[in-house]
């Protein structure tokens, strides 16, 4: 598939977008507030629509679609600020497991929920410090992970060991695995994981180059999904803001009559366009992972640009809501916090620029050697 084809949604992809927009359109802000981080009804609805299996093969009950469709879906999820661990379970875990031929049937039908540990979320590389050693009784996993998108309903973990050497698939009930829950800035559940467990050899689902490839796949899908989610969130934050300043009157006229405010909105539309472009680029890079060379070359730029768009749009949205923007009652603050969560999951602009700067420094050095 070429990038230009990628920009033109297929019929199936178009249908996903339509059904996503229709379904999320029926979810109100108070519905989302009431669900406090997870709604099993919504999770079941998503299963019904086939979304958990978007990336899975048809023989595992999946739709067998790719990142283009996924990207549109995640934009709709961002717009509705749904807290469910769709990216964690249905994108990163299902996508990674599918790439190595693992059974994902239960994840696809929504009866189980998985969380990636040590890769994917955050998506800026492999953050794992978990070590594994094979012994007589099985494999001994040790170490801790500070952040994992796991909630009370998470049933299994996909664990990357350090340097992406291996990938283990563990049930939550694994003895010696401690899950310490805490809440994310945007209200979804997260957890700190501590491993000191001996697991059967079958828990090791892949290792070596195959594990690295599978984890790269998971990260590429995560970059694409998080970027898309951020774009949907940015769109909605801009929509809420323009609606607010069109309606709110001060000095006898709508706030939107003031040029200083109008120009702030205009600049954020430029950010939105950049966000959309990076979303398409990230989806395409995930589509074409085999041929794109080192996707990190693109991912660092994608993460840097989308994070800045998220930050500036979020801040402007709050500013233009004035005092009301500071209240938890208004939806805008919730979108702002979702943007913060997404930036954190992408390593923030600062982290992405640091990574890209290191590559540029190496480039400059290399050219110096060529010249001398």
Partner 1 sequence: MRDQGARDFQDERDHIDFLLDDELRAFRRDVRAFLRDAVPQETRDRIDRGYAATKPEIVDFLAKLSAKGWVAPAWPAEYGGPGWTQLQRMVYSTELARNAAPSIPPFGVSMIGPVLYTFGTQAQKDKYLPGILSGEDFWCQGFSEPGSGSDLASLRTKAEDKGDHYLLNGQKIWTSKAQYADRIFLLARTDEAPRKQGGISMFVLDMDTPGIVVKPIISIDMNHSLNEVFFEDVKIPADGLVGERGKGWDYAKFLLGNERTGITNVGRCRRQVERLKRLARADLIPGVDLSKDGAFLRDLARVEADLTALEISEIRILSQGKNGPSAMTGPSVLKLASAQIQQTLAELIVSTLGHYAAGRGAEFIDAFDDLGGLPPDFVDGALNEYLFGRAVSIYGGTNQIQRDILARAALETRP
Residues forming contacts to partner 1 in the complex (CB under 8 A) are 2-5, 7, 238, 242, 245-246, 253-254, 256-259, 262-263, 265-267, 269-270, 273-274, 276-278, 280-281, 284, 288, 291-293, 297-298, 300-302, 304-305, 308, 352-354, 356-358, 360-361, 363-365, 367-368, 371
CB of 273 to partner 1, least distance (A): 5
Compute the half-sphere exposure of residue 80: CA atoms within 13 Å on the CB side of its CA: 22
- Structure token digits, residue 235: 């769109």
CB of 351 to partner 1, least distance (A): 11
CB of 290 to partner 1, least distance (A): 12
Among residues 326 and 358, whose Cβ is nearest to partner 1?
358
CB of 236 to partner 1, least distance (A): 14
- Structure token digits, residue 156: 């299994």
CA distances from residue 164 to 105, 124, 263 in whole angstroms, order as listed: 25, 13, 46
- Structure token digits, residue 347: 């390593």
Among residues 103 and 273, whose Cβ is nearest to partner 1?
273
Rg of the chain, C-alpha, whole Å:
21
Among residues 2 and 209, whose Cβ is nearest to partner 1?
2
The CA-to-CA distance between both ends of the chain, in Å, stands at 41
CB of 233 to partner 1, least distance (A): 17
- Structure token digits, residue 41: 């009804």
* Cβ(140)–Cβ(156) below 8 Å: no
Among residues 44 and 266, whose Cβ is nearest to partner 1?
266
* Cβ(149)–Cβ(115) below 8 Å: yes
Q: Which residues contact 324 (CB under 8 A, 6 or more apart)?
A: 244, 330
Among residues 4 and 201, whose Cβ is nearest to partner 1?
4
């Amino acid at each position: 598939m070429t990038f230009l084809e990628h920009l033109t949604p297929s019929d199936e992809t178009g249908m996903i977008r339509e059904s996503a927009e229709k379904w999320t359109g029926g979810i109100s802000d108070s519905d989302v507030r009431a669900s406090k981080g997870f709604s099993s009804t919504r999770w079941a609805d998503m299963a019904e629509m086939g979304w958990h299996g978007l990336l899975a093969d048809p023989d595992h009950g999946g739709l067998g679609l790719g990142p283009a469709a996924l990207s549109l879906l995640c934009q709709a999820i961002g717009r509705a600020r749904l807290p469910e661990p769709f990216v964690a379970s249905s994108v990163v875990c299902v996508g990674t497991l599918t790439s190595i031929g693992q059974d994902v049937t239960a994840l696809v039908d929504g009866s189980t929920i998985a969380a990636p540990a040590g890769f994917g979320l955050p998506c800026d590389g492999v953050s794992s410090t978990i070590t594994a050693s094979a012994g007589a009784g099985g494999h001994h996993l040790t170490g801790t992970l500070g952040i994992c998108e796991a909630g009370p309903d998470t049933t299994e973990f996909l664990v990357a060991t350090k340097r992406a050497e291996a990938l283990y698939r563990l049930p939550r009930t694994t003895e010696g695995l401690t899950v310490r829950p805490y809440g994310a800035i945007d209200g979804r559940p997260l957890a700190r994981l501590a491993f000191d467990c001996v697991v059967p050899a079958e828990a090791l689902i892949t290792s070596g180059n195959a594990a690295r490839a599978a984890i790269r796949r998971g990260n590429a899908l995560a970059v694409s999904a998080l970027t898309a989610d951020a774009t949907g969130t940015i769109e909605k934050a801009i929509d809420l803001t323009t609606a607010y300043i069109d309606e709110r009157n001060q000095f006898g006229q709508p706030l939107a009559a003031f040029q200083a405010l109008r120009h702030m909105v205009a600049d954020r539309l430029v950010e939105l366009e950049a966000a959309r472009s990076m979303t398409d680029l990230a989806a395409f890079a995930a589509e074409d992972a085999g041929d794109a060379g080192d996707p990190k070359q693109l991912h660092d730029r994608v993460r840097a640009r989308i994070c800045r768009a998220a930050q500036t749009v979020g801040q402007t949205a709050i500013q233009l809501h004035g005092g009301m923007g500071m209240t938890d009652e208004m939806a805008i603050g919730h979108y702002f916090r979702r943007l913060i969560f997404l930036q954190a999951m992408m390593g923030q602009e600062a982290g992405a620029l640091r990574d890209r700067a290191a590559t540029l420094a190496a480039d400059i050095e290399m050219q110096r050697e060529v010249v001398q």
